[in-house]
Amino acid sequence: MHDLARLAQRFTIDWLDRADATVPPQIMAPGYQVHIGDVELDGLEAYTPATVGQLEQFPGLQLTVHSLVLTEDRLALHFTEHGASVRHDLRGAAWTGVALFAWDGEVLTENWTQEDYAARRRQLADGVPDTVGPPMVAPWTTQPAAPDPAAEDVVRAWLGSAQPGFDSVTWDDGLTAALVRPRGLEVAELFSAGSTVAFAATQTGEFLGTDELPAEDGPVRLGLAGLVTVADGVVSGGVVVSDRHGLLRSRSRR
C-alpha cells in the first residue's frame, strides 16, 4: 500500500467512520488547510471541531469510496457520506463529494472538497434518502499513476464552459440543472493520474435562475470539484460536485 493511500484510508476509516478525534494530529500537519464550499479552515484547531460537529449530527456516519486516484504527491476521492441526522428525527441522507489532498511525504497538508449539501438538505426535508452508489472494490491498494499534461490541458479548457447535461459527466445528484453561464474560471488545484483528471475550481458567470430565484446578469461564483476522464482529446465521463447549496443560499439572501 502506498503511504499516501494509507493516509487516505486512515482519514476515511479511522477519522470519519469511527469519529475518532485523536486521529487528525496523527495524519495531518498542524497547519492543515481545508477549502470546502465557501469555507476556509486554517489549521487543525479550526478543522477538527468543525468536522466533529458534523459527525455528532450524523452519529455512525459512513463514507463509501467510489473511486480513488493518486500520484506521488496528490490524491483524489469520489465518495458518498451517509447517515442519519439527530437534528431531523434520524432521517437518513446520502450525499456525494469529491476531495483532493496534498501531502508532504509524511502527513496530509491541504484539502480541497465539495460536498452536495443541496442533496443532503433535500433528503432530510422529504425523508427519502438517495441510494448509495457501488463502492470501489480495493481503493487503498491503488498505485500512483503518471501525470498526463495533455489531459490536464483538455480539462482546463473544458472547465471554462462546462455545465450539467453534457459529456457523460454526472453533476451532483444527477438532478442538477445549469445554474451559471460560465464567463470565467479560477483553478485552485488540478492534477492528472493517467487519463483521469482531478480538479478544484470556481466558475464565475451569470446566474441563470431557478423556479424560485430569478436570473441575474451580475457575476456569481460556483465552486466545483471533480474527477473526469479524458479520451481522444475530450472529456468523456466522470463526476462533478458543485457548491450549488452555497450559491442558492447566497442568492436567496439578496
Task: Give the CATH number for residue 207.
Answer: 3.10.450.50
As a whole number, mean pLDDT of residues 183-209 equals 97
Residue 154 and residue 133 share a domain: no
Pick the closest to residue 93 from 105, 101, 104, 85 (CA basis).
85
Residues 157 and 184 in one domain: yes
Q: Tell me which of 66 and 253 has the higher pLDDT.
A: 66
Amino acid identity at 241 = V
Q: Give the model confidence (pLDDT) of 224-238 as tens digits.
A: 999 999 999 999 999
Local structure of residue 15 (DSSP, 8 states)? I
Q: Residue 254 pLDDT more than 70?
A: no
pLDDT band at 7 (very low <50, low <70, confident <90, very high): very high
123 and 234 in a single domain? The answer is no
- Could you tell me the three cell numbers for 97? 463529494
Asked if residue 155 and residue 70 are part of one domain, the reply reads no
Backbone angles phi, psi at 8, to 5 degrees: -65, -35
Q: What is the pLDDT of residue 169?
A: 97
| 98 and 195 fall within a common domain | no
Chosen domain end from 123, 141, 159: 141
Whole domain around residue 52: which residue ranges?
3-141
* Mean pLDDT, range 234-250, rounded to an integer: 95
225 contacts 241 by C-beta, under 8 angstroms: yes
Nearest to 186 by CA among 38, 32, 47: 38
* Band of residue 212 on the pLDDT scale cut at 50, 70, 90: confident
- Of 90, 110, 141, which closes a domain? 141
Interacting residues of 39 by C-beta distance below 8 A, sequence separation 6+: 50
Residue 118 and residue 44 share a domain: yes
pLDDT at 104 over 90: yes
* pLDDT value of residue 211: 81
CA 217 to chain centre: 27
C-alpha cell recorded at residue 125 = 426535508
- pTM above threshold 0.75: yes
Tell me the average pLDDT of the chain: 96
Its sign, for the CA torsion 163, 166, 167, 173, is positive
Res. 149: pLDDT tops 70: yes
Total tally of structural domains belonging to the chain: 2
Angstrom distance (rounded) from CA 159 to CA 230:
13
